[in-house]
Chains A and B, each alone.
Chain A
Amino acid sequence: MRRPEKMIPSVDNQRIVITGVGLTAPGAANLTDFRANLLAGISGVTTIDLRYMGTHPAGICTFAETRYRKKRENSRGTRAGCIGVYCANEALNDAAIDFSEYDRAATGVYIGLTEHGTVETENEVYNIGQYHNDVNYWTHHHNPRTVLNNPAGEITMNLGITGPHYAIGAACAAGNAALIQGVQMLRLGEVELALCGGISECVGSFGIFASFRSQGALAEHPDPTRASRPFDRDRNGIVISEGGCVFTLERLDRALAREAKIYGEITGYAINSDAKDFVLPYGPRQRQCMEQALRRADLRPSDITIVNTHATGTKQGDIEECNAIRDTFADCPQTRINNTKSSIGHAMGAAGVLELAGNLPSFTDHLVHPTINLEHLDPECALPGLVAGSPQQLERVDAILNNSFGMLGINSVVIVERFVAK
């Protein structure tokens, strides 16, 4: 096979490793609990009773909201900011970084968002509706809450980080895109430490639920824990979730020098565009994206141990991705395929990074977490290596390929390999 574009730098200051994980997901507020739920096949999905919408399945996060900042700051900021501050602090603690070894001015915060400001805007429109739409009652907090850098900015204010911070807007590919941004900035020498991840607060928006419903893509099931069912013949749409995940990324030489725990090395990535449709995904371009990431990582498809799918539980989306995977991994009987959204729903901007985080422990426990809620496999989604129902034990996990796709035809792929000193 053609293997140009070798991108893996062999020099340790160009190799980028993940050294800390902070997260909150439906059903778990740290990686240990999250992994345990995924392996046990426990769904974190419950329901939400939303203005104008009634009750729907949704993924809600419960975490220590005032562990790292006061209630007062949470009420001034946004839910996304609150999630971000929690995840960033948890990631730094996990990485044992206290800024004695890194300069806050050389630390970058890159946060992926599917959207931001929808929740806050809906709330204010509702609020002034209580006052005959008198805009004198529109909050002065609206603009600082809705600027796109809000969640990343709230993280910098909380931690005193004075390096760059901004949002990466890439629909539901945003988590991966932020991770890629962090890798690039570290390799360019723009920053020494990158806090990268994705956040979603979208369960607070009736409009996001209503839009998916109007599109015929909002999941319904009498039992919310069974509503998110990618690849199932009876799947009927997306379960909307909130959540967040922030990684600490470092250059390998610096990580080794401080004897950091290393979760894995980001060796390949790609982002491309379908250039076709507002909402419909396009498998052939997804395949090109996976192939580009593989070339950059200098890997063959058969080198990938786990493909973590993007599949959200929509009819067409799941089929397109399965076709792309079937083509890309045609001769890879050892490659396993799983899906994390079946357990936590679709955490939008946080999806890519949360799903990657949920699979990182595979490098050490050698288990592939299962796709759940797969009762009647859709023949069009039948992939040879699909792990469903219960986890699969392997001898070794070498590489994880994480897919994350979004509206307007944005595709992203990140490849993380088990860390091996070279």
Chain B
Amino acid sequence: MTRDEIKDVILEIIEDIDEEADFANLDAEAPLRDQLDLDSMDFLDIVMELRKRYKLQIPEEEYPQLASLASCVNYLEPKLKDV
């Protein structure tokens, strides 16, 4: 997957969680939770969806790497390169 495709997947998963999520002014470098109405359970939903879709097992200590959209893409790019 390309970086853009990964970004779209993340946004799509967030939209599934909250159909009212507004991405218009989303800062890719800033934490998602500060900008969107997401809490810890929503965050776990994102992790679970990645597991279901791509069989990705993300260790808990690496969760912080999913904090912003940009860090998500950086973290997932090597893991999803063959998808």
Contacts and interface: CB of A to CB of B under 8 A. Distances in A.
A270 to B, nearest CB: 42
A129 B33 CA distance: 32
A140 interface: yes
A137 B18 CA distance: 21
Interface string B17-58: 111100000000000000000000100110010011000010
Main SS class of interface, B: helix
A295 B48 CA distance: 57
A72 interface: yes
B48 A140 contact: yes
Contacts of A144: 41
Given A136-B57, A137-B52, A72 B44 contact: no
A70 interface: yes
Contacts of A221: none
Contact of A70 (B20, B44, B48): B20
A419 to B, nearest CB: 44
A139 interface: yes
A136 B44 contact: no
Contacts of B48: 137, 139-140
Contacts of B57: 136
Contacts of A131: 52
B29 to A, nearest CB: 26
Given A136-B51, A137-B52, A140-B48, A72 B17 contact: yes
A232 to B, nearest CB: 47
Nearest to A71: B19
The contact size tier of chain B is 10 to 19
Contact of B44 (A71, A137, A140): A140
B63 to A, nearest CB: 12
Nearest to A140: B44
B13 to A, nearest CB: 13
Contacts of B41: 76, 140-141, 144
Main SS class of interface, A: helix
Contacts of B18: 72
A119 B57 CA distance: 27
Interface in A101-153: 131, 136-137, 139-141, 144
A392 B18 CA distance: 50
Contact of B51 (A71, A137, A141): A137
A310 B72 CA distance: 57
Interface in B49-83: 51-52, 57
Contacts of A136: 51, 57
A140 B52 CA distance: 14
Contacts of B44: 140
A71 B19 CA distance: 8
Contacts of B52: 131, 137
Nearest to B47: A140
A137 B44 CA distance: 11
Contacts of B17: 72
A140 B20 CA distance: 22
Contacts of A141: 41
B62 to A, nearest CB: 15
Nearest to A76: B41
A134 to B, nearest CB: 9
Contacts of B20: 70, 72
A72 B19 contact: yes
A131 B20 CA distance: 30
A70 B42 CA distance: 15
Nearest to A144: B41
B21 to A, nearest CB: 9
A144 B18 CA distance: 19
A137 B48 CA distance: 7
Interface of A: 70-72, 76, 131, 136-137, 139-141, 144
6 contacts: A71-B19, A72-B17, A72-B18, A136-B51, A137-B48, A140-B41
Give 9 nearest A-B pairs by CB, closest first: A140-B44, A72-B18, A71-B19, A140-B41, A136-B51, A137-B52, A137-B51, A72-B17, A136-B57
Given A137-B52, A140-B41, 5 more contacts: A71-B19, A72-B17, A136-B51, A136-B57, A139-B48
